[in-house]
Amino acid sequence: MRMRSVRTLASALALGASLLASQALAKSDITIAMQLEPPHLDPTSAAAQAIDSVVYTNIFEGLTRFMGDGSVAPGLAESWEISEDGTVYTFKLRDGVTFHDGTVMDAEDVKFSLDRARAEDSANAQKALFAGIETVEVVDPLTVRLTLAEPNGNLLFNLAWGDAVIVAPESIENIKTNPVGTGAFTFGNWVQGDSITLNRNPEYWGDQPVLETATFKFISDPTAAFAAMMAEDVDVFDNFPAPENLPQFEADPRFQVLVGSTEGETILSTNNQQPPFDDIRVRQALAHAIDRQAIIDGAMFGYGTPIGTHFAPHNPAYVDLTGNSAHDPEKAKALLAEAGLPEGFQTTLHLPPPSYARRGGEIIAAQLAEVGITAEIINVEWAQWLESVFKGKDFGLTIVSHTEPMDIGIYARPDYYFQYDSSDFQAVMAMLNSTTDPAERARLMGEAQRLISNDYVNGYLFQLAKLGVARAGVRGLWENAPTAAIDLSAISWDE
């Protein structure tokens, strides 16, 4: 009797196991969690990164695209030719590409998309990407010609942004709630506040993805994120909000942790026009008062790469300038005394919601106190930060991660919120923009990095890490985040 029940149990278990195995083999759906929900699904009219995370390359594609390693590859444009003087780009489009509603993607759609993005009343959040484009002409259904006012070495890079994807005039009206693109996945369903589902596009022009459906779930609370992963309610957490929990996932064989890089330079932004920060000695004192590694360890639990300038360390053109602002409180005090502030001074430190800012801010305030600077911490929401710090320029210091790729150009804008005004730097950026030779561009980028580092424009802290957590069997996830994207095309299950 007992023997039989044991045998029954064993066979039941075996059956269960084989069922599980066959299910695992056939698994073609995935649930991916992210912290923020997109407000809508039009990447060409909002800055919210959550939109790109869902739609970039999955639903919408551009003429060029970012790959997982940050390189720019052909997208809907198969190839292109650049005129001798660098002002005319002729793009050859892929043949046989259709939108999800069945209409053909051709040169007219490209013209429509680019003209819409750069139009006077355009709602594009990155309109500057298209600034140099003078005309967009349809040569034939599969050829588009872009004429620029002056050479722009960044054009192919700019066109890879989610803000430059190709949309169709037929479906533009409802793009925010029913996006129709050319990508490998079609929009399925959106339960607002909960999830968005995408389905495989059987008509896709490129390789068919393995996944049949993908569900994006929105979990903003870090504790809830931990619980959802642990309970295996979700398969992937795109950018896990609680670095302190990662060792637990690393130790658990059910999970894998993917630590990669992002384009986010996390900086102690300094109001360069507000006394005493208009004195370079004070800014240099700030830089030497800061202990980067202590901030990375304390606020990010060790995840993050120290930076000494506003540039991503994984970029080949990066120059390591951390030595320029090594932690040296004595030197900081000496510099303050030299600037006529031997007793230190008081300032404000505005902290937006992300933990890198709130936690990092506490540590920085303590480090500044050591050299006599009293930084009053003011916690703000993003909307407030945009209003008072970014637009109103009413701040002394603030901590923010600048997540746009290759955004060193912001230092050439004297009205940008930290208000750095250097004609040398502006000249270097102007040269960079009109240079297409890669070696010369790298040299100029190095020059630009040195200039802002030597001027101690801001306190350069660390490059934000991308911290992904996934079930052990998930393959094909992007480790790095060259742009906000969760590219579903290469994702598969391996069990």
| Contacting positions for another protein (CB under 8 A) | 37, 39-40, 46-48, 120-128, 176-177, 191-195, 217-221, 223-224, 227-228, 230-231, 233, 353, 381-384, 386-388, 390-391, 404
Give residue 18's region: left, alpha or beta (phi > 0; psi -120 to 50).
Answer: alpha
Residue 246 phi, psi (nearest 5): -60, -40
Task: Count the Cβ atoms, other than its own, within 10 Å of residue 123.
Answer: 12
Closest distance to another protein from the beta carbon of 77 (Å):
24
Closest distance to another protein from the beta carbon of 484 (Å):
12
The residues facing 91 across adjacent strands are 80, 144
- Vertex 215 angle, CA 210 and 216, to 5°: 125
Closest distance to another protein from the beta carbon of 125 (Å):
4
Torsion (CA) 432, 437, 440, 443 in degrees, nearest 10: 70
Alpha-carbon distances of 25 from 122, 208, 351, 479, 493, rounded to whole Å: 47, 18, 47, 24, 8
State which residue, 130 or 204, has the beta carbon closest to another protein.
130
Alpha-carbon distances of 231 from 40, 198, 225, 246, 423, rounded to whole Å: 29, 23, 10, 15, 56
Task: Count the Cβ atoms, other than its own, within 10 Å of residue 235.
Answer: 22
Alpha-carbon distances of 206 from 29, 37, 203, 474, rounded to whole Å: 20, 28, 9, 22
d(CA 211, CA 469): 19
Closest distance to another protein from the beta carbon of 387 (Å):
5
d(CA 108, CA 312): 36
Closest distance to another protein from the beta carbon of 350 (Å):
12
Residue type, 209: P
d(CA 148, CA 367): 48
State which residue, 7 or 254, has the beta carbon closest to another protein.
254
d(CA 247, CA 258): 12
Q: Are 386 and 350 in contact (CB under 8 A)?
A: no
Closest distance to another protein from the beta carbon of 176 (Å):
5
d(CA 94, CA 109): 13
Closest distance to another protein from the beta carbon of 39 (Å):
4
Closest distance to another protein from the beta carbon of 108 (Å):
24
State which residue, 76 or 399, has the beta carbon closest to another protein.
399
State which residue, 48 or 377, has the beta carbon closest to another protein.
48
Closest distance to another protein from the beta carbon of 293 (Å):
28
State which residue, 51 or 319, has the beta carbon closest to another protein.
51
State which residue, 125 or 258, has the beta carbon closest to another protein.
125
State which residue, 20 or 104, has the beta carbon closest to another protein.
20
Closest distance to another protein from the beta carbon of 17 (Å):
17
Contacts of residue 158, Cβ cutoff 8 Å, sequence gap at least 6: 129, 130, 152, 164
State which residue, 14 or 128, has the beta carbon closest to another protein.
128
Q: Are 129 and 179 in contact (CB under 8 A)?
A: no
State which residue, 37 or 109, has the beta carbon closest to another protein.
37
State which residue, 234 or 335, has the beta carbon closest to another protein.
234
User: What's the start-to-end Cα distance of the chain, in Å?
Assistant: 36
Closest distance to another protein from the beta carbon of 220 (Å):
7
Closest distance to another protein from the beta carbon of 469 (Å):
14
Task: Count the Cβ atoms, other than its own, within 10 Å of residue 210.
Answer: 17
The residues facing 471 across adjacent strands are 255
State which residue, 7 or 127, has the beta carbon closest to another protein.
127
Q: Are 484 and 34 in contact (CB under 8 A)?
A: no
Residue 378 phi, psi (nearest 5): -125, 110
Largest interatomic CA distance in the chain: 93
Q: Name which of 475, 428, 420, 470 is nearest 449 in CA terms.
A: 428
